[in-house]
Amino acid sequence: MPRLKAWEGYSLHLTLAPSFARALFERRGDSYVKIAGRSEGAVMRQEGEYVVGEGCSAEELSYWSGLWLDRRLVEEKAPLLAEMHRGLGLSLSPYDKHLIFVAVFLSRATSWEANVLRWCRDIFSRASTLEALLQLDFTQLGRSFQLRQLREALNEYAGVARASEAGELRARLLGIKHVGPKLADAYLLFTGIDTSAAPVDRHALRMAARLGLPGVPPRKDLCARHPCAKCPASGSCLRFRLTELYGPVAGWVQTAFYMHDTMFCAKRACSSCTLSNVCRRAP
């Protein structure tokens, strides 16, 4: 039974909350049970300063819990965010890439809590291998456009997922209908293929502007044709700027942006925010 020591202030609940890997788990009390994919039925929970796993390896537990993250590098690259979001790790699942793709694809323009997690649990209770997923009629689970488009996307995904290099894979993912840069980068990040991939969403755009890092979202047409470093839009692209600034922890920074924007900025909790001294929109 693996047992991993966490850093001071770490929270398993907080770490799983924004992660697409959470779609692979069901919370039961203070424990999380893996409902699909590799080591299905495994359990993890936090016991004080430790995270304990049952039915899994230490490596699996490290990725799922987010404790693989180099906390010292986070503190070096993004000290203010690191202090503000001390409890946040980065939960990944390198072993269940096709399941992460399903969760990422379904997440477009809908509620993560109300819809995506529910859809994933319904789907994963019926099939968890890529071959089995390709046989499902997802419209039996609902009439949303995300479910209607999933089967075609999975068929295309099956043909590109074996690309070995992150840049090549990103370009091939962008060839899938309805997959843009944000989805491609979320897939690369939460499968652990490229932790420098920062999915640029509205939270990242708002937080970057507040911290003096303005930029625009990446464009699918340009991303599909150019490596980031050679893209004509790299000077204004927020994805490129975050990757250049934060390197392998850029994905964690984007996750912290999401958490910060929803937990503090959306609630106008500036008085309790340690970023207010550097925020360009603080009162």
* pLDDT single digits (tens) 219-261: 999 999 999 999 999 999 999 999 999 999 999 999 999 999 9
Token pair belonging to 164: 């070995």
For residue 283, the model assigns a pLDDT of 62
- The mean pLDDT value for 31-60 works out to 98
- The mean pLDDT value for 98-118 works out to 97
Mean pLDDT of the chain: 96
- The mean pLDDT value for 60-76 works out to 98
Domains in the chain, please, with CATH?
3-84 (no CATH), 97-190 (1.10.340.30), 202-272 (no CATH)
Query: Is 282 a residue whose pLDDT tops 70?
Result: no
Query: Would you place residue 47 in the very low, low, confident or very high pLDDT band (cuts 50, 70, 90)?
Result: very high
Query: Would you place residue 214 in the very low, low, confident or very high pLDDT band (cuts 50, 70, 90)?
Result: confident
